[in-house]
Structure 1
Amino acid sequence: MANLLDKRMFYVDGTWVEPARANDFQVIDPSTEEAVAVISLGDQADTDRAVAAAKAAFAGWSRTEPAERLDHVQRILDVYRRRAAEVAWAISHEMGAPQDMSLDDQAEAGIWHITNFIDAFRNFRFIRPLGDHAPTSMIAWEPVGVVGLITPWNWPMNQVTLKVIPAILAGNACVLKPSEIAPLSSMVFAEIVDEAGLPSGVFNLVNGDGPGVGTQLSTHRDVDMISFTGSTRAGIAISKAAADTLKKVVLELGGKGANIVFADADDKAVVRGARHCFYNSGQSCNAPTRMLVERAAYDRAVETAARVADETAVATAHQPGRHIGPVVSKQQWDRIQDLIQAGIDEGARLVAGGTGLPEGVNRGYFVRPTVFADVGNDMTIAQQEIFGPVLSIIPFDTEDEAVEIANDTPYGLTNYVQSQDGARRNRVARRLRSGMVEMNGVSRGAGSAFGGVKMSGRAREGGVMGLEEFMDSKAISGWDRA
């Protein structure tokens, strides 16, 4: 272990502390299959210590002026910008995002969200009138208390900043448990928070796994809220674990997005959709993994998507370039291989990629960009979230059929619509059962809330709604407006 980064300590009450007992866990670089660092998995004593620190800090932090909290977050942003390259290095080595993508998108996502929260918070009214009909009735927005934050490995800083920043701006104190598979960027983030001078106990970090620290936070009587991003299976377990304490639970879970491509879509729609599916090696909950194509454009779309897959380079995360990297772990790699095989076995037509490692690769958790055509929406690959670079293409004949297929999924995170007919785009967008709809390649605006419906959870992260997620509303009557 001499060459491994030693990251065994936790950040609690404004200082780095030793774990209560040794429980080493190796962080594996998915490009090499070799350990890059060792962390410690916390136990109940570590969780209790962090929660106690947050509870003690909450009393004072919750009463600070909003402007003071905003100043602290601005300092966090300043330090983050300076250390973004370190964040990117950590993400490349812990979860396999290629060097350029890690800096330009993965680490940059943190800057984007912090900046957007600062903008949203500047105009946030903590006390506002109910309406002209009730001049002495006010709605007050107040912090929830001690918040447990459980984040995933696929977009580490995206999710950490979507939770930590609004939590502390709202006046909460928090305990972060990042994914044990990809904890290194979060530990850099803890260093950033420390350097920025956030008061002790407002932010704490304890590493651990889901059954350990994750469950301990979910069941802890002094934790008032859990915000979780991850698999639907884990989200259900957290909901059950949190039920006895009736804490607030906010879940951002999986997805199986439909990308509806009408025959009049622009020429780049299929290329754009396929690239988006393969991006981050398919490890995004909002990936458009089901491409629904109108029959008249179907054969051409299949051909185009297969070509995009064949042209998508796969290589180590440790080199620059526009390639995709490995998936995060051997467990994920095995699962993706099983699902690709299920697609073959159930009769989908494999037009690109397939099982096994890409040509010329003999180590690392690399997956071949894969495209299936003639997929039935009842097939395993159309219903299960694969979380790899695997695209399923499904034909449709009518608008009603496209909407029916798109909605025929347990998930409801992001759907996509491609058409030059604006009235049809708007009509279809309203009929799709999802928290988000993106049309013709136009990204959601800054401050838009990220979240879904059904088994994608019902979190709303980002912007004003993302701030309100970390607060409780209080109705006050008889307010003296003078």
Structure 2
Amino acid sequence: MDTETSTPAFPAPAHWIGGLAVPGAGPVIDVVNPATGAVIASVPAGTAADVDRAVEAATAAFPGWAATAPAERARILERVAEGLRGRGEEIAATITAEMGAPIQLSRTAQAPLPVMVTAGTAGLAAGFPWTEEIGHSLIVREPVGVVGAITPWNFPLQQLVTKVVPALLAGNTVVLKPSEVAPLTARTFAEAAAGAGLPAGAFNVVHGTGPVVGEAIAAHPGVDMVSFTGSTRAGKRVAAVASQTVKRVALELGGKSANIILRGADLKDAVTRGLAGAWANSGQVCGALSRMLVPAELHDEVVALALDAAREYTVGDPTDESTRLGPLVSAAQRERVAGYIERGIADGATLVTGGPERIEGLGEGFYVRPTIFADVDPESVIAREEIFGPVLAIIPYTDDDHAVQIANSTLYGLNGAVFGESGHALAVARRIRAGQIDVNGAQFNPLAPFGGYKQSGNGREMGRFGLEEFLEVKAIQR
């Protein structure tokens, strides 16, 4: 093991309320390294009373923070970005330890993306129309109030900043519940924010489970808005609970994204990039390109290219620099994904590589074999349900209309991709009912809106659209 990527020391378990580390009064939740099964840290199992205290702190901090000029709020957030940048290696090692992302992925995405998003969001303040005039009306954009943020484990710090930073820039105060599975970088952000001069109480963290802390946040009458990222099932529950106080709800939920490879596309490039989009972070990505749609007459050639590309994906110790795929985040997640692989086999899809069996030689880790299925029925379970693991379904189609019909046939509409001649690919991209589509491997844009159609959620994150989610709009007629 590379000593430079060994697990950092973690502080004693505590919430973060009113600018201070606040120990929990009861049980703790263990944080397990998914590569070894070892407990590496713990956090408090928070309660509704802890949420009450955090909301009280956020409420007290709100008037002063909301009255702070946007330019000053932006300067503080720029300093937060610098604080996170200075702790990049620590953040990468922490995320690798708590959720199993390979260290190279943690260094190139898990740690730097939050810095980029924080700095980029802060940069929106100068040109944003905080006020404007429409006829004889003055339009004023004001903070919503106290925001409850509930974030997932797959990109723990990235998902945190995607919500918390625009909420703070808008002048809101925040109560965060990070995933109890990968909660540790929430403390890193809290310390960076305090060091940057964020007022005490503007950002608070309450650790715990969704059914206890998450529901307490969603139900709390002192919380004015909830922003949630996670499964569609959990998002429905958050929305139902939040509806009792008619608070604003923003949801970024599941996906079953299609990658349409058109006739005339560079097949090798499309398949190689498509597989990377399916298996990134061991497939634990809401926008994973888990369905590869290919012209029927090119199906076998695509399968051969996918199998060849799959040989580059070494599975193993996530602290090893050469590892491409680490473990899944938990034993439960491993069993869930293995169950889907078994279902694909039972339903008659062709298993090209992988399978449900454990990988020999990897000890107690929660590893799964990266799996490719060919000739998949678009109506089958593995083609319609979100698996959240390294499982690719290759699906043949007849023509563009058929490809678009398959792409749009699930309950989800989060992400997608199209490969082909640029004009043709753009025309097909416009027909896909999803929130973001990449054409010919175009790079992620942190200033573009991110969010879904249908049961992939509502609202948008990132850039100007993400900032607008956390603002009320007032019209003053003069």
Which range, TM-score by smaller chain?
over 0.9
Contact 1:11/1:206, CA 8 A, preserved across alignment: yes
What amino acid maps onto 1:93 in structure 2?
Answer: A
Q: Secondary structure at the match of 1:11?
A: strand
| Distance in 1 separating the partners of 2:251 and 2:127 | 26
Tell me the residue number matched to 1:58: 62
Equivalent runs, 1:4-403 vs 2, <5 Å:
5=10, 7-19=12-24, 21-130=25-134, 134=135, 136-266=136-266, 267-403=268-404
| Distance in 1 separating the partners of 2:221 and 2:427 | 46
| Distance in 2 separating the partners of 1:394 and 1:285 | 20
1:88-112 CA distances to partner (integer Å, 9 max, x unpaired)?
1110111001112112110111011
What amino acid maps onto 2:405 in structure 1?
Answer: E
Aligned alpha-carbon RMSD (Å) = 1.3
Give the TM-score of the pair, scaled to structure 2.
0.96
Unaligned runs of 5+ in 2: 1-7
What amino acid maps onto 1:377 in structure 2?
Answer: P
| Distance in 2 separating the partners of 1:248 and 1:198 | 25
- Displacement of 1:218 in angstroms is 0.2
| Distance in 2 separating the partners of 1:40 and 1:151 | 17
- Displacement of 1:240 in angstroms is 0.6
- Displacement of 1:451 in angstroms is 0.6
| Distance in 1 separating the partners of 2:446 and 2:95 | 24
- Displacement of 1:322 in angstroms is 4.6
What amino acid maps onto 2:295 in structure 1?
Answer: E
Equivalent runs, 1:402-421 vs 2, <5 Å:
402-420=403-421
Q: Secondary structure at the match of 2:475?
A: strand
- Displacement of 1:129 in angstroms is 2.1
Contact 1:219/1:244, CA 8 A, preserved across alignment: yes
Contact 2:317/2:323, CA 8 A, preserved across alignment: no
1:245-298 CA distances to partner (integer Å, 9 max, x unpaired)?
000000000000000001211131111101221110000001100000012321
Contact 2:144/2:172, CA 8 A, preserved across alignment: yes
What amino acid maps onto 1:432 in structure 2?
Answer: I
1:316-365 CA distances to partner (integer Å, 9 max, x unpaired)?
11221251111100010000000000000000000011112224323201
Question: Between the two proteins, what is the percent identity of the paired residues?
Answer: 45
Count of aligned pairs between the two proteins? 470
| Distance in 2 separating the partners of 1:295 and 1:138 | 57
Q: Secondary structure at the match of 2:111?
A: helix
| Distance in 2 separating the partners of 1:68 and 1:423 | 44
What amino acid maps onto 2:264 in structure 1?
Answer: D
- Displacement of 1:307 in angstroms is 2.1
| Distance in 2 separating the partners of 1:431 and 1:333 | 35
- Displacement of 1:4 in angstroms is 8.5
| Distance in 1 separating the partners of 2:324 and 2:412 | 29
1:197-237 CA distances to partner (integer Å, 9 max, x unpaired)?
21010000110110011000000000000000000000000
Q: Secondary structure at the match of 1:97?
A: coil
- Displacement of 1:139 in angstroms is 2.0
Tell me the residue number matched to 2:438: 438
- Displacement of 1:430 in angstroms is 1.4
Contact 2:262/2:425, CA 8 A, preserved across alignment: no
Tell me the residue number matched to 2:5: none
Q: Which moved more, 1:356-365 or 1:290-299?
A: 356-365
Q: Secondary structure at the match of 1:69?
A: helix
| Distance in 1 separating the partners of 2:147 and 2:235 | 16
What amino acid maps onto 1:14 in structure 2?
Answer: G
Contact 1:310/1:352, CA 8 A, preserved across alignment: no
| Distance in 2 separating the partners of 1:95 and 1:276 | 19
| Distance in 1 separating the partners of 2:89 and 2:363 | 29
Contact 2:157/2:185, CA 8 A, preserved across alignment: yes
Contact 1:175/1:203, CA 8 A, preserved across alignment: yes
- Displacement of 1:83 in angstroms is 0.9
Contact 1:96/1:317, CA 8 A, preserved across alignment: yes
- Displacement of 1:6 in angstroms is 5.0
| Distance in 2 separating the partners of 1:7 and 1:427 | 54
| Distance in 2 separating the partners of 1:445 and 1:276 | 15
